[in-house]
Amino acid sequence: MTGPVGGHRFYLYGLGDLWGWLHAVPTLVGAWGINRVFEFGQDDQLSWVLIPALGFMVAYTMLQAILYGLTPDEKWHARFNPQLAASPDMAPSSGWPAVIGVALALMLGATVLMSTIAFSGQRYFEYQIEEARKISQ
């Protein structure tokens, strides 16, 4: 699962792909947030901001996997394998592995996205309650 660090972009476009390199930034920021939770505990407010970056990046790359998996074979070969597009009888079809990959990406992406939204919402409202308690005392 190298999507959050841009592995799919490097595979398709090479190591010179700027967007591939930029995938690593929010992934590493989110990983740093998880590290802060292990180091400082769940009350670290900076980690509340950092962790959702990882969740949204994983969900985004799962969406990209779904879009790649649902691309028709002819269109895929025309874009990424022009030598195979010229001879469609020799071009391999994606078949069931693409369907299974799309289903897994949908399950993982939806789970991570909903978890990220729930985590962010919970931390936001906990922070609001703490601030309200400070004001009322």
pLDDT surpassing 70 at residue 85: no
pLDDT surpassing 80 at residue 84: no
pLDDT surpassing 70 at residue 12: yes
Q: How confident is the model at residue 88 (pLDDT cuts 50, 70, 90)?
A: low
Q: How confident is the model at residue 21 (pLDDT cuts 50, 70, 90)?
A: very high
Percent of all residues in the chain with a pLDDT value above 90, rounded to a whole number? 61
CB 34, CB 51: distance < 8 Å: yes
By the 10 Å C-beta count (0-12 exposed, 13-18 middle, 19+ buried), 94 is classed as middle
The rounded distance, in Å, linking the Cα atoms of 11 and 17 is 10
pLDDT for 27-82, tens place per residue?
999 999 999 999 998 888 899 889 999 999 999 999 999 999 999 988 888 888 88
The rounded distance, in Å, linking the Cα atoms of 115 and 80 is 34
The rounded distance, in Å, linking the Cα atoms of 25 and 30 is 9
Spatial CA neighbour of 98 closest among 57, 129, 68, 56: 68
CB 51, CB 38: distance < 8 Å: no
DSSP label at residue 60: H
| pLDDT reported for residue 33 | 93
The rounded distance, in Å, linking the Cα atoms of 79 and 28 is 30
Spatial CA neighbour of 32 closest among 3, 7, 4, 52: 52
| pLDDT reported for residue 83 | 80
Q: Give the rounded distance of the alpha carbon of 101 from its chain centre.
A: 15
The rounded distance, in Å, linking the Cα atoms of 128 and 134 is 10
Percent of all residues in the chain with a pLDDT value above 70, rounded to a whole number? 98
For the chain, give every domain's residue range. Answer: 3-136
Q: Locate 22 and state its tokens.
A: 């930029």
Instruction: Work out the mean pLDDT of the chain and round it to a whole number.
Output: 90
